[in-house]
Amino acid sequence: MTLKNFNLLGLVTVAVPVLISCIYSRTVAGEITVSGNCGDLNCEQLLAQLKSNWSEQISQYTAECQSGKNLGLNVWNRNESKVVTLICWGDKDPNGEIYGTSLGLLPFPGDEENFTSKWNCWNSDECKNALIKLRDQYPEEIRKYEVECAMESGELTLVIPQVNGLSEANVQCSFFVPNTQIDDNGDGVADGAVAKPTSVDITLGTLTLPQ
């Protein structure tokens, strides 16, 4: 399945790491140093598996994290499955602080089927009914949108224009553009953020509503 790339970066929420045999490690993949909380794998193994499963996304993330930077990985629990946040860290500043930019969110290897976005249709019968029809008519497209939005840590909804004779639904992903992250101890895991993130809505695609 080919996924659409976005220039906007996904929100990475600072969360409690997975409480299993958390392995903090630092290694080198090419010219990028890799470190973080990589669950029951070392970070080199985790990055290799992510690259195998999500080659296009990892290529994009490593390209955005320029040579000499540190790629931070953090495994944590989200909606009863494990996910991996990826952050590009710079060097320590004169005050000893390390600042980073969130790159995206991917499923931990083996949890791909549970990697999805929530649909925000709870207050709209029109959205609920349309989603049922669209799932039946376009299962692959709907799944693709759910994965794309999950990479941005977003929620999905359907925007149905109120125009006579128009039978289309816009699939919209709502998420937060990430702010600058802070690593206090150099372990590759975010310990805080500089400011509040900004909310963004993007349209992933438009589908014709079945009659």
Q: What is the pLDDT of residue 109?
A: 97
- Which of 6-10, 36-40, 102-106 is least confident? 6-10
Give the integer Cα–Cα distance in Å for 197 and 205.
24
Mean pLDDT of the chain: 84
pLDDT in tens, 52-97: 999 999 999 999 997 778 999 999 998 888 999 999 999 888 888 8
pLDDT > 90? residue 148: yes
pLDDT confidence of residue 2: 41
Q: Is the pLDDT of residue 200 over 50?
A: yes
> What pLDDT does residue 164 have?
59
Q: Cα dist. 122→139, 157, 158, 171 in Å?
A: 20, 10, 11, 16
Residue 209 has pLDDT above 70, yes or no: yes
pLDDT (mean) for 121-134 = 90
Q: What's the predicted TM-score (pTM) here?
A: 0.81
Q: Is the separation of the CB atoms in 181 and 187 below 8 Å?
A: no
SS3 (DSSP) at 72: strand
Q: Work out the average pLDDT over 140-169.
A: 89
**What is the SS3 assignment for 3?**
coil
- How many CA atoms lie less than 13 Å away from 128 in the CB half-sphere? 5
Mean pLDDT of 175-181: 89
